[in-house]
């Protein structure tokens, strides 16, 4: 049954978005992994920026791994994401760190997420080889 991670409610088949918060539903309710409440949190990944952090956090939560995101506040206030100012540390319980790293590695190796080669800028008026003027 589809499940809303935000509202924590299951819905009947055929519904794609939560009627309450309008978010996309997960295909099934995640089976949350068990851990000790006083267990140490370890950083499994450091993301640069809010978007990357949210994508990775969602992937871990979809697999049932609880995540805490520790953010650098100066990057959020000033909007600067260089030299660690926009760093977002994804932390999970120590007992689930190995599994979380495997999930993130599988997600990051997806062909859709591979970075493309940077665009080469040409001088104004230059014509690429093989193209008519």
Residue 83 lies in a domain: yes
Q: Say if residue 37 is in the same domain as residue 93.
A: yes
Task: State the residue range of the domain holding 24.
Answer: 1-30
The per-residue pLDDT for range 36-71, each reduced to its tens digit, is 778 899 999 988 878 888 999 988 988 888 899 988
Angle between helices 97-108 and 50-62 (to 10 degrees): 120
Q: Say if residue 8 is in the same domain as residue 49.
A: no
The CA-CA-CA angle for residues 32, 33, 38, to 5°, reads 115
Per-10-residue mean pLDDT of the chain, 133 residues long, equals: 84 89 81 76 88 89 88 69 76 91 79 52 54 54
């Amino acid at each position: 049954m589809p499940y809303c991670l935000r509202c924590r409610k299951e819905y009947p088949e055929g519904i794609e978005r939560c009627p309450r918060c309008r978010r996309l539903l997960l295909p099934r309710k995640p089976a949350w992994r068990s851990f000790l409440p006083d267990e140490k949190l370890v950083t499994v990944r450091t993301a640069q920026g809010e978007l990357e952090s949210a994508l990775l956090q969602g992937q871990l939560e979809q697999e049932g791994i609880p995540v805490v995101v520790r953010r650098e506040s100066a990057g959020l206030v000033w909007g600067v994401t260089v030299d660690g100012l926009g760093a977002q540390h994804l932390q999970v319980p120590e007992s689930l760190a190995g599994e979380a790293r495997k999930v993130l590695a599988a997600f990051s190796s997806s062909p859709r997420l591979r970075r493309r080669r940077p665009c080469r800028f040409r001088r104004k008026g230059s014509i690429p080889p093989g193209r008519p003027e």
